[in-house]
Amino acid sequence: MWLPFCFVAALLLAVHGEGRGERSDVYVVYMGAVPPRTSPSFLQETHLRLVGSILKRGKVARSVVVQQYKHSFSGFAARLSKDEAAALRHKPGVVSVFADPVYQLHTTRSWDFLQQTDVKIDSARRYSAKPTASSAPTTDTIIGLLDSGIWPESPSFEDTGFGPVPSRWKGVCMAGDDFNSSNCNKKLIGARYYDLGEVNSAGTRSSSNSPRDEAGHGTHTSSTAAGNAVTGASYYGLASGTAKGGSAASRLAMYRVCSDEGCAGSAILAGFDDAVGDGVDVISVSLGASPFFNPDFSEDPIAIGSFHAVAKGVMVVCSAGNSGPDPSTVVNAAPWIMTVAATTIDRDFESDVVLGGNSSAVKGGAINFSNLDKSPKYPLITGASAKSSSASRVESASHCEPGTLDASKIKGKIVLCNHSQSDTSKMVKVEELQSAGAVGSILVNDADRSVTTAYLDFPVTEVTSEAAADLYKYISSTSEPVATIAPSITVTELKPAPVVVYFSSRGPSAQTGNILKPDVAAPGVNILASWIPTSSLPAGQKQPSQFNLISGTSMACPHVAGAAATVKAWNPTWSPAAIRSAIMTTATQQNNNKAPMTTDSGTVATPFDYGAGQVNPTGALDPGLVYDLAADDYLHFLCNYGYGASQIKLITSPAAGFSCAGNASKDLISDLNYPSIAVTGLGAAASRTVTREVTNVGAQEDAAYTVAVSAPDGLDVKVVPSKLEFTNTVKKLSFQVTFSSKNAPPAKSALTGSITWSDGKHIVRSPFAISN
């Protein structure tokens, strides 16, 4: 069910122009920060005058402008010809002009599991006045989501028990198709929608005309981040329990920038701009570009919007993408963004294969509501044995590829099919088997078995290659093999968990190799949360489920957004960087076997898989120390990345006298005061020193922290000083870390480890990755 929302692409959106057959495209014109003491209305008029200055006679500026950005940054989107866009690039005050891209969505028990896997915090470690992450915050926080809309009737968004809407809220509840202002309440306090940038058959862009969710994705992410606790939630009886968001006391605001067709960059920028202007505290963004479309920061709508949001003190959390397990596929990797990978939880949906003879069972997994007889009486065959005479390859038939099987051979039977990631999709295979008269199917699937597929009424289960060996052995041992497929049941306390799921995008970042990405991991597999009504009901069901089980880094992102909102509620003056630091340095790296976390292929996970580890919502409330960042730190990052001071001054409004250092280089990005450390280009017999500063935010003003280093063979790591002593007057202290290698790190890999500060109560861990 999650797959339609997880394909990542970056498409350029073409729109036919008006008059004389001239072609025009939608372009975004980015003009940096809003100048001080500039009103939104003045800014809007400025945009129109700028557009008008390059339009041909007869064209009106207001008729071509699609969006205007006026709260946290300045700019607009407009339908322009190629020549008109080129002319704007040379106008004073313009940072960049780029064709409007279309990004894609990256698409209960999860919060219970996070609480179970927390590092236990004893009374000495806990803030005396602070409760656990599941308790109600003391300050209202508002989470804004840029997504596909929201289904306001979901019980996750009821407002019983909520007080008045915070007075600082400046947002609106936009009326639209099947949506009016009464659909908002004291929980869902705002909703907006935008031109989605879709191209219809006539080649023109259409609008959603409503904040209402038509895809389900935005409803799911919203309830994951901040949904009320809803008892008796389930997916038609599976995964039953209480569905709840990570920050149930937070308010919600939806910015519909997507449909199931995609998310226009111009709408994404408008969502960021409005969310900041409306007064949200945290922005959750479960969408992104393809890892193969790598725009510069000044041409990436998410990087632009999040940069200005963070500059205004708004935390931005984004999904890492669903292009794993290949390396260098992580997206949304700007250092001002918190980037989230996906892990499993300790729940599975088991559907076993029962064999004839001694009625032994082979473990499988999928979501099906099988109506097959419990007795193993259905003929069991392999796809290869049902090969049609027209099929050229037995291998293709063994994988049940469409068009390779003889329908007369599979009618009334359960068909055992191999499956690999390069095959035709599982659902297409299954639909063809069902149409041909098969009564069920078993798919041998190792690559993505951890993500449960919902087959609903048609009895299908998936088994590993190891389990399939028993099936093949049984088939070859008897002349009339028979079997049945059991309906799915929920299995909890699965071990090991969490593991990093195969689809989660991996580091290192292709853009920012000297920033370790992703930042952290969170549950993103088979997550139960609210959903929109659907007409696809399992047999015997009269009402659609109000919940659905979905997977993707889309689902991991709002888990961290909810945790961030809780940290913000108890620490309203903390910067986005401090909140990110609290979440990263308290993350866990062990599974529920008390062993190092692995990937779902069984290898030990690295920081390129899960960043600092799995989010620990309770631990993040009391991090002890934080790595903070100010606006100027990000400006110096841009200097080191390669931007000139003049361009940076267009992007933002730095302090008087700001300039880039003469020795600016990408190597110096490693010195950004980030909670993790990444160093590239370290050769044999070489060394590199980086600097970090930590701030004591613990309850004890007088605190002494000592350092412990975990480093791999071949890498020497020295921390100076090795002890940090804080007092009531000394809140911040710096230290240096020197990495020295005897041999160059292996090609296309990295040497990883960690640096941990502890005062006996707090554990403040920072991962590192050193590559050549």
pLDDT at residue 207, rounded to an integer: 53
CA angle 177, 181, 183 (to 5 degrees): 80
Following DSSP, what letter does each residue of 279-320 receive, concatenated? Answer: T-SEEEE-EE--TT----GGG-HHHHHHHHHHHTT-EEEEE-
DSSP single-letter state for residue 354 = E
Q: What is the pTM of this model?
A: 0.92
DSSP single-letter state for residue 6 = T
Structure tokens at 615: 């989010």
- pLDDT 10s digits, 656-715: 788 999 999 999 999 999 999 999 999 888 999 999 999 999 999 999 999 999 999 999
Bridge partners, residue 690, by sequence: 737
545/538 Cα distance (integer angstroms): 10
Highest mean pLDDT of the ranges 444-458, 477-491, 651-665: 477-491
- Inform me whether the pLDDT recorded for 132 exceeds 50: no
Catalytic residue among 118, 140, 147, 600: 147
Catalytic residue among 250, 554, 741, 766: 554
283/311 Cα distance (integer angstroms): 13
CA angle 39, 306, 263 (to 5 degrees): 100
341/334 Cα distance (integer angstroms): 15
Indicate the pLDDT class of residue 305, thresholds 50, 70 and 90. very high
What φ, ψ does residue 200 adopt, rounded to 5°?
A: -90, -175
- pLDDT 10s digits, 35-94: 988 999 999 999 999 999 999 888 899 999 999 999 999 999 999 999 999 999 999 999
Contact assessment for residue 581 and residue 675, using Cβ atoms and an 8 Å cutoff:
yes
- HSE-CB of 337 using CA atoms within 13 angstroms: 31
- pLDDT 10s digits, 328-361: 999 999 999 999 999 999 999 999 999 998 889 9
Instruction: Name the CATH superfamily for 104-125+132-346+498-595.
Output: Peptidase S8/S53 domain (3.40.50.200)
Q: Where along the chain do its domains lie?
A: 3-103, 104-125+132-346+498-595, 347-492, 630-659, 672-770
Indicate the pLDDT class of residue 270, thresholds 50, 70 and 90. very high
Whether 398 sits among the annotated catalytic residues: the reply is no
627/625 Cα distance (integer angstroms): 7
CA distances from 388 to 164, 402, 433, 587 (A): 68, 11, 13, 54
CA angle 329, 335, 337 (to 5 degrees): 80
624/585 Cα distance (integer angstroms): 9
649/656 Cα distance (integer angstroms): 10
What φ, ψ does residue 254 adopt, rounded to 5°?
A: -105, 135
Contact assessment for residue 24 and residue 78, using Cβ atoms and an 8 Å cutoff:
no
Whether 554 sits among the annotated catalytic residues: the reply is yes
671/507 Cα distance (integer angstroms): 19
Q: Name which of 98, 90, 133 is nearest 112 in CA terms.
A: 133
Percent of the chain with pLDDT over 90: 81
- Inform me whether the pLDDT recorded for 565 exceeds 80: yes
User: What would the CATH number be for the domain defined by 3-103?
Assistant: 3.30.70.80
Q: Can you give 581-647 as a three-state secondary structure string?
A: HHHHHCCECECCCCCECEECCCCECCHHHHCCCECCCCHHHCCCEECCCCHHHHHHHHHHHCCCHHH
Contact assessment for residue 525 and residue 502, using Cβ atoms and an 8 Å cutoff:
no
639/207 Cα distance (integer angstroms): 39
Q: Which residues contact 634 (CB under 8 A, 6 or more apart)?
A: 307, 310, 311, 335, 336
Report how far apart the first and last C-alpha atoms of the chain are (Å, whole number): 40
Q: Is the previous residue joined to 496 through a cis bond, with omega within 30 degrees of 0? A: yes
Whether 759 sits among the annotated catalytic residues: the reply is no
Helix (H) or strand (E) holding 723: strand 723-726
- Inform me whether the pLDDT recorded for 14 exceeds 70: no
Q: What is the mean pLDDT of the chain?
A: 90
- pLDDT 10s digits, 228-262: 999 999 999 999 999 999 999 999 999 999 976 78
What φ, ψ does residue 591 adopt, rounded to 5°?
A: -95, -175
- Inform me whether the pLDDT recorded for 404 exceeds 90: yes
Do 3-103 and 347-492 fold alike per CATH? Answer: no
pLDDT at residue 75, rounded to an integer: 97
pLDDT at residue 677, rounded to an integer: 98
What's the alpha-carbon Rg for the chain, to the nearest Å?
A: 27
Q: Name which of 171, 157, 160, 282 is nearest 223 in CA terms.
A: 157
pLDDT at residue 328, rounded to an integer: 96
- pLDDT 10s digits, 382-396: 999 999 998 888 999
Pairing of strands 414-418, 440-444: parallel
pLDDT at residue 124, rounded to an integer: 24
Indicate the pLDDT class of residue 115, thresholds 50, 70 and 90. very low
Residue of 399 and 5 predicted with greater confidence: 399
486/375 Cα distance (integer angstroms): 9
Q: SS3 for 531?
A: coil
What class is the 672-770 domain?
Answer: mainly beta
- Inform me whether the pLDDT recorded for 22 exceeds 70: no
Question: Averaged over 452-471, what is the pLDDT?
Answer: 94
Following DSSP, what letter does each residue of 126-148 receive, concatenated? Answer: S-TT---TTSPPSS--EEEEEES
| Check whether domain 347-492 has CATH 3.40.50.300, yes or no | no
Catalytic residue among 217, 399, 636, 762: 217
Structure tokens at 671: 């010195």
CA distances from 272 to 266, 417, 746, 754 (A): 10, 46, 41, 34
- Inform me whether the pLDDT recorded for 23 exceeds 80: no
Bridge partners, residue 353, by sequence: 362, 485
Asked whether the CA dihedral 485, 486, 489, 491 is positive or negative, the reply is: negative
- pLDDT 10s digits, 177-231: 999 999 999 999 999 999 765 444 444 444 568 999 999 999 999 999 999 999 9
- Side chain identity at 263, as an amino acid letter? C
Q: Is the previous residue joined to 572 through a cis bond, with omega within 30 degrees of 0? A: no
- Inform me whether the pLDDT recorded for 138 exceeds 90: no
